[in-house]
């Protein structure tokens, strides 16, 4: 099916700062019996996390692939096209840079399987759209509530940024810190958590 673009964002101008200590790092309410099955997939670049996430959802239809990346340059546009081809038939692609929570609340129950790829780009888009780092936990919890309101399976992909060298500039270090706290919130809520290394999944939860 065709791709649906939800919005366009301003160029990145925000300066990141670490989340405050009282950012409220905890999970949302406990899963109810009619909530979605929430699967969280983490990994580094080219670890195989997107392929693994698609494998979790391909057996259920209808299914949607929620893409947070935007083709701001030719190289990124090529990456997006390559990912679209690799998904094959049966996936409806929804391009949503920031408003994932709203889309899940309005449309999520129409699908038995949803893959959101990825939260790291979603976070970048939020910050670029003038969301303050201290507001990120609120956005993450809203996303989790909307994901739980779906009746099917929701597979969420994110990057693990904390295993390499310490970034050399303050903005990159702050982004890494905010992303790490975001991942902790999602992992705490998820029913299953997987970490991908060289294409091999390690189940953490």
Task: Please identify every residue annotated as catalytic.
Answer: 83
In angstroms and rounded to an integer, the radius of gyration of the C-alpha atoms of the chain is 16
Burial state string for 83-92 with b = 16 or more CB within 10 A and e = fewer than 16: beeebeeebb
Query: Which SS3 state, helix, strand or coil, does residue 27 take?
Result: coil
**Lookup result for tokens 């996430």:** 53
Quick one: angle between helices 170-189 and 136-149, nearest 10? 30
Task: Look up residue 133 and give its DSSP letter.
Answer: G
Mode of pairing for the β-strands spanning 3-5 and 200-203? unpaired
Q: Measuring CA to CA, how many Å separate 198 from each of 42, 44, 51, 166, 205?
A: 12, 9, 12, 22, 19
Tokens 């129950």 found at: 109
Least Cα distance to 177 among 20, 11, 8, 7 occurs for 20
Q: Are 134 and 20 in contact (CB under 8 A)?
A: yes
């Amino acid at each position: 099916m065709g791709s649906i673009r939800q919005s366009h964002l301003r160029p990145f101008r925000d300066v990141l700062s670490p989340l405050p200590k009282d950012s409220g790092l905890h999970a949302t309410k406990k899963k109810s019996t009619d909530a979605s099955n929430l699967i969280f997939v983490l990994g580094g670049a080219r670890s195989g996390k997107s392929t693994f996430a698609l494998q979790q959802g391909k057996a259920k239809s209808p299914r949607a692939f929620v893409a947070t990346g935007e083709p701001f340059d030719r190289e990124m546009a090529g990456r997006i096209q390559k990912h679209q081809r690799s998904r094959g038939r049966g996936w409806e692609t929804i391009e949503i840079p920031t408003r994932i929570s709203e889309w899940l609340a309005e449309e999520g129950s129409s699908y038995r399987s949803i893959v959101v790829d990825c939260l790291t780009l979603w976070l970048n888009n939020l910050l670029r759209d003038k969301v303050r780092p201290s507001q990120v936990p609120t956005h993450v919890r809203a996303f989790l509530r909307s994901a739980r309101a779906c009746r099917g399976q929701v597979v969420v992909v994110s990057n693990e940024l904390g295993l390499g060298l310490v970034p050399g500039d303050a903005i990159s270090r702050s982004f890494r810190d905010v992303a790490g706290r975001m991942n902790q919130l999602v992992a705490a809520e998820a029913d299953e958590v997987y970490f991908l290394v060289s294409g091999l999944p390690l189940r953490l939860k």
